[in-house]
Amino acid sequence: MKLLIVIVNYRTAALTAGCLQSLVGELNALRDAHVMVTDNASGDDSVPRIAQAISDLGMDERVTLMPLARNGGFAFGNNEAIRHAQATREPFEYVLLLNPDTIVRPGAVEALVEFMDGNPPAGIAGSRLEDPDGTPQRSAFRFHTVASEFESGLHLGVVSRLLSRCVVAPPCPAEACRTDWVAGASMMIRAKVMDEIGMLDEQYFMYFEEVDFCRRAARARWPTWYVPRSRVIHLVGQASGVTDPHQQRRRRPGYWFESRRRYFVKSHGRGYASAADAAWASGYLLWRMRRRLQRKPDNDPSYLLRDFLRHSVFARGFNS
């Protein structure tokens, strides 16, 4: 088998069905590909609805639906599908992690396969994510640093320009290029990479697991590439409800902060993680003061600073 495509569903049956529908043409072009949909114990009618969608699309032979006994998060849901495929199907060359809140443009999956086939040193390749009207979303990222944390908290244009080389989400390049990490919404991984470094870290419930994986791959000399020829619509935040731009003031869940803290401690150690926390908090405090003085609109999630401090390295301990 050339390609395994994995979609993790949690109470998003309609989105998952739409994603599957967008894959019909891709599967016709890639006859040696298979899709696995895991359901993270949704506790609603997701499983029968997705099963019906698979049948209605005539994809019964190409798609496996795998209900899981518990909701272990994004990494867990993907890993369970990969483990099942490794145990029950012939070996595959690539795995495509695909969010349920995506719609695959024609040729998008094939473009990633062709890129990986033509670039054997590449370990990971990510798509150009975009809005339904084709507006590109920032999809090629830099690793987080102390400087990038200060910049993201401060929201000040002149500082962002001075720290432009540290900004985590720079403008999207027009051509394929190496990058630090790509979004797990549409991320293709060479199977050899997982053989060497292992699968996604299931200690992340959601968020930062793809950053962690790309960093581990880079340390093992498997670079990550951004491939804009692969175009995928990403309905941002509709699967998780966390990053939806239409719900900017929604309170950020604890697992986001837990994942962020785990990433910094695991990747850089306790001292660096504490510096990153201090940098973001100080930048954010300056932003809040400036917002009040300049009477700017308050679009931040509710209780953001309070929740950040409650989950920070300082509050939760260096080893957590």
Q: Is the same domain home to 211 and 83?
A: yes
> Considering the domain boundaries, does residue 142 fall inside one?
no
Rounded to the nearest 10 degrees, the angle between the axes of helix 13-29 and helix 108-118 is: 60
Strands (E), the chain: 3-9, 33-39, 63-67, 94-98, 102-104, 124-130, 140-141, 177-179, 181-182, 186-190, 224-234
- Whether the Cβ atoms of residue 39 and residue 76 lie closer than 8 Å to each other: no
With contact defined as beta carbons under 8 Å apart, do 62 and 55 qualify? no
Could you give the number of structural domains in the chain?
A: 2
Using alpha carbons only, what angle is made at residue 74 by residues 96 and 320, rounded to the nearest 5 degrees?
A: 130
pLDDT bracket for residue 89 (50, 70, 90): confident
Q: Do 210 and 277 belong to one domain?
A: no
Question: Does 156 share its domain with 18?
Answer: no
pTM for the full predicted model: 0.93
The pLDDT, as a whole number, for residue 315 is 82
Instruction: Pick the last residue of a domain from 218, 240, 262.
Output: 240
Of 240, 266, 299, the position where a domain reaches its end is: 240
Average pLDDT over residues 25-50: 96
Residue 28 clears pLDDT 50, i.e. is over it = yes
Whether 105 and 122 share a structural domain: yes
Whether 45 is covered by a domain: the verdict is yes
Contact 62, 34 (CB under 8 A): yes
Among 185, 211, 240, which residue terminates a domain?
240
The reply to whether 55 and 115 lie within a common domain is yes
Do 176 and 274 share a domain, yes or no? no
Model confidence pLDDT, tens digit, residues 216-266: 999 999 999 999 999 999 998 666 555 555 555 689 999 999 999 999 999
Asked whether residue 116 is domain-assigned, the answer is: yes
* Same domain for 93 and 13: yes
Residue 124 lies in a domain: yes
Shared domain for 77 and 128, answered yes or no, is yes
State residue 69 phi and psi, 5-degree precision.
-80, -20
Q: Domain containing 176: what range?
A: 3-137+172-240
The reply to whether 100 and 160 lie within a common domain is no
Residue 144 lies in a domain: no
Phi-psi region at 143: left, alpha or beta (left = phi > 0; alpha = psi -120 to 50): beta
Residue 21: both structure tokens together: 């529908």
Q: 50 and 99, same structural domain?
A: yes
- Residue 99 falls within a domain, yes or no? yes
Instruction: Please tell me whether residues 120 and 61 are part of one structural domain.
Output: yes
Q: What is the mean pLDDT of residues 57-78?
A: 97
- For the chain, give percent helix, strand, coil, nearest 5: 45, 20, 40
The first and second tokens of residue 80, run together, are 């369970």
Domain assignment of residue 187, yes or no: yes
Read off the pLDDT of residues 46-64 as tens digits, 9 standing for 90 and up.
Answer: 999 999 999 999 999 999 9
Q: Is 261 within a domain?
A: yes
Do 161 and 20 share a structural domain? no
Number of H helices, E strands in the chain: 12, 11
